[in-house]
Amino acid sequence: MVSTQEITTRGNASDAEAERLARVEGAAYRIRHHALNMGEVQGQGYVGQALGAADMLAAVYADQLRFRADDPEWEDRDRFLLSTGHYAIGHYAALAEAGIIPVKELETYGSDDSRLPMSGMSTYTPGMEISGGSLGHGLSIAVGAALGLRYQGSGSRVYNFLSDGELDEGSTWEAAMGAHHHHLGNLTAMVDINALQADGKTDTVLRTEPVTEKWQAFGWYAQRVNGNDVGALLAAFDNAAAQAAAVGRPSVILCDTKVGRGVPLLEDREKAHFMRIEEHEWQLCREQLTAGFEGKAAR
C-alpha cells in the first residue's frame, strides 16, 4: 500500500519536474527568438543551427550550468566550451537568456566594434570560454580544462558542445581517448547531430555512424537522444550525472536535432548551413515560432 506521505512526495516531485521542463522549454523559446532577431541584423547566417540547438543550449544554461551572471569569470563556475565558432549566434542568445550579456546588446551582432562577432571569440565576449572557429579542437581544450580543474581540487564541471562535423576530425577522437584514460567524470560532451555540414549531408561528407558505439568503444558513457525533446535531454543529463558520480567516466550526449527547428518555414530549406532569409520572412519566422510555442503550451 502507498502511504499518503509517499503520494504527496511523489506529487511534489512531479510538480518540480513539470516546473523544470517548463522553465527549460521557455528558455529554449526565447533563445530561438533572440537568434531570429540577431539573424535579421545580418539578413543571413547560421540561424538554422541556432534554432536546432536551442533546446540543448537551454538545458545547459537553464538547468545544468553553475555560473554567476554578474561575474562570468567566477572561479567556481562550470565551464561551457563551444567548439563550433559558427554556432556563436545560438550561444549569444543563450548568454542573453542567462543574463550574462544584455538582451539589448544582441542588436549589435556581427557589427563593427561589437562584442558579438559572427564567429565566437573568447577575448570579445563575456561567457565565451574559447575561440572555436577552427573545428575539432574544443574537446582537447575541454580535456585539459577538466584535468586542470581536478588537479586544483575544483568541483566545477566542463561541458563541451560539438557539432557532428567535428566527428570528422581525428583530434576529437584523440581527446576522447585522453578523457577516458584520465577518468574525467567531470566532463560532459554534447554533440549536435543535425546530419548537416558545410559541404552537404553528414553521411555524404564522411560516414561517422554508428556514433554511439564509437563513443562507447572509446570508454565513454554514451546516450543518444532526440535533441529537440527537452524532457529527454534533462533525463540524459540526470543519467550522466549519476554515472559520473558512480564510476568517474566522461559522458557524451548525442543529440539528434533538426536544423531550423521551431520555425516550419526554415525547417526544410536548401543551403541550410548558411541561410539567407528574405527581409519579409523574418516576422513570419517569429510568428511561426510563437504560434508553435503557444500551441504546445496550451496542450
Ligand X SMILES: Cc1ncc(C[n+]2csc(CCOP(=O)(O)OP(=O)(O)O)c2C)c(N)n1
Contact set with ligand X (CB under 6 A): 49, 84, 86, 133-136, 163-165, 194, 196-198, 273
The partner in contact with residue 136, picked from ligand X, Mg ion, none with C-beta cut-offs of 5 to 8 angstroms by kind, is ligand X
Size of the site for Mg ion (CB under 5 A): 5
- Closest to Mg ion by CB, 163 vs 223, is 163
User: 233 near 224, Cβ under 8 Å?
Assistant: no
**C-alpha separations of 11 from 3, 4, 17, 18, 76 in Å:** 12, 10, 10, 10, 34
Among 140, 154, 156, 194, binds Mg ion (CB under 5 A): 194
The 3 state secondary structure assigned to 191-233 is EEECCEECCEEHHHHCCCCCHHHHHHHCCCEEEEEECCCHHHH
* 3-class secondary-structure state, position 20: helix
Residue 22: all three cell numbers together: 517548463
Return the one option of ligand X, Mg ion, none that residue 204 interacts with (CB less than 5 to 8 A, by type). none
Q: Write the CB contacts of 106 (distance below 8 Å, at least 6 apart in sequence).
A: 34, 37, 38, 92, 93, 96, 116
Nearer to ligand X, 100 or 211 (CB): 211
| Shortest spacing between CB 32 and ligand X, in angstroms | 16
Set of cell numbers at residue 71: 561575474
3-state class of 290 per DSSP? helix
In the complex, least distance from residue 180 CB atom to ligand X, rounded to whole angstroms: 23
Look at residue 198 and give the partner it binds from ligand X, Mg ion, none, a contact being a CB closer than 5 to 8 Å depending on partner kind.
ligand X
Binding partner at 111 among ligand X, Mg ion, none, C-beta below 5 to 8 Å by kind: none
Q: Which of 142, 184, 196, 277 binds Mg ion (CB under 5 A)?
A: 196
Q: Which is nearer to ligand X, 206 or 242 (CB)?
A: 206
**By the criterion CB under 5 A, which residues form the site for Mg ion?**
163-165, 194, 196
